[in-house]
Amino acid sequence: MLCLFMAGGLYSCSPKRQASLHVDVTPDLQSVADFYNYSTVDWALIDTLYYRPYNCDWSEEIGAQIASDFPMEYTSKYWHRLQNAKTYLHQQTLPLRIGASDAFIEQLNRTESALDSVFVRIVSQEYYMRIFVDCYEEIIPLEIDKCFETLTK
């Protein structure tokens, strides 16, 4: 059966997800790569994408990890931003999921979940001006590296 092709090589498929069409997944891979660095994410767009009536709808488990002295006016802002980013990343990767291997799909899911980890890392420590950027850069690039490594296996 014919698998999906991307620029530079074969896009591996699990037998049950093989497709019969040639599809260029390069733009979809680029949407993942855009999240690699804090500065390449369009945060102005992300902040306005989705309406969330409950900005503080994190689970009790996550809420328990918020430092007592962390400024609450920033917690909901960071939560909203990261949940929007998580939703946007998921939507941008839907075409990749069609013919992807199970390992790649699992890694995409872990990468999305890492945005929750960024939130926890931020709010579980003392606030400082670059906390969002620093925590994002500590976690997300590693997860995206793993996504692309999974594609080569």
Residue 56 pLDDT level (bands cut at 50, 70, 90): confident
Q: Is residue 129 situated within a structural domain?
A: yes
Mean pLDDT, the chain, whole residue set: 83
CA–CA separation, 83 and 19 (whole Å): 31
Compute the C-alpha angle 107/108/111, nearest 5°.
Answer: 85
Range of the domain at 90: 25-151
Give the pLDDT of residue 60: 92
User: Is 94 inside any structural domain?
Assistant: yes
How many structural domains does the chain have? 1
What's the pLDDT score for residue 153? 75
pLDDT digits (tens, 9 = 90+) for 123-143: 999 999 999 999 999 999 999
Categorize the per-residue pLDDT at 2 as very low, low, confident or very high, splitting at 50, 70 and 90.
Answer: very low
Q: Does residue 88 lie within any of the structural domains?
A: yes
* In a domain? residue 131: yes
Whether 1 is covered by a domain: the verdict is no
Q: Is residue 10 part of a domain?
A: no
Binning pLDDT at 50, 70 and 90, where does residue 24 land? Answer: low
Helices (H), 3-52: 26-33, 43-48
For 60-77, what is each residue's pLDDT tens digit?
A: 999 999 999 999 989 999
Average pLDDT over residues 41-46: 93
For residue 121, give both structure tokens.
């890392």
Q: Is the pLDDT at 25 greater than 60, yes or no?
A: no
Q: Which amino acid is at 91?
A: Q
List pLDDT tens digits, range 69-110.
999 989 999 999 999 999 999 999 998 888 888 999 999 999
